[in-house]
């Protein structure tokens, strides 16, 4: 899918190296991690969008929101930065998460965003950005149908990286590979990220 990534050298970022050292990691997964290593993806001098040159911070989330509101597309290098960090967190989680509601003052439960960036931004504007004091559960169907599925999933993954104990992502049927092919997410990823 990412032709440039397949030509990447063997230099690995610390998060990728950590995953590759994990015992029992399938060969296919090791190849995926190597081929999508963000450290090996050059950024063209003509790129004017947001950059992630250090740890993902709250400012990163705000910068992404502002860029996506202006219709900017995130460079594939930075897409991989977000996805690699989110992958480390997601791989460490059980398939079923228990949330202790007794320690929370409130929690926002959001469903069926379907690639509607305007809806997600309205939710964040009305309720505040995710944080340790402002937790969110996103109940699946993040992508497909809308025109900004890539942006929606990147904002959700960035939020997860920032607040892994306060942002919960439950897969819906639209996160199934066959559904993403049928309803357009795969094509959107190819168009925006390659």
- Cite the active site residues: 174
The C-alpha atoms of residue 25 and residue 45 are separated, in whole angstroms, by 36
**Is 18 strand, coil or helix?**
helix
Which one-letter DSSP state was computed for residue 109?
A: E
DSSP secondary structure string for all residues of 29-85: HHHHHHHT-GGG----TT--S----SS--HHHHHHHHHHHHTT----HHHHHHHHHH
Give CB contacts under 8 A, 24+ apart, made by 96-99.
97/168, 99/137, 99/168
CA 76 from centre of chain: 12
């Amino acid at each position: 899918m990412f032709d440039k990534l397949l030509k990447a050298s063997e230099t690995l970022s610390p998060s990728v190296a950590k995953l590759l050292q994990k015992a029992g990691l399938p060969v296919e997964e090791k190849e995926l991690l190597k081929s999508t290593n963000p450290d090996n993806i050059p950024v063209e001098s003509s790129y004017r969008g947001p950059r992630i040159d250090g740890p993902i911070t709250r400012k990163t989330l705000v910068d992404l929101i502002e860029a996506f509101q202006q219709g900017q597309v995130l460079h594939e290098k930075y897409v991989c930065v977000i996805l690699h960090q989110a992958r480390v967190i997601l791989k460490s989680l059980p398939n079923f998460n228990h949330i202790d509601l007794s320690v929370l003052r409130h929690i926002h439960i959001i469903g069926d965003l379907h690639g509607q960036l305007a809806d997600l931004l309205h939710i964040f504007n009305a309720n505040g950005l995710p944080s340790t004091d402002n937790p969110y559960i996103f109940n699946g169907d993040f992508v497909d149908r809308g025109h900004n599925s890539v942006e929606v999933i990147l904002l959700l993954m960035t939020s997860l990286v920032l607040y892994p104990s306060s942002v919960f992502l439950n897969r819906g049927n639209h996160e199934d590979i066959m559904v993403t092919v049928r309803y357009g997410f795969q094509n959107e990823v190819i168009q925006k990220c390659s």
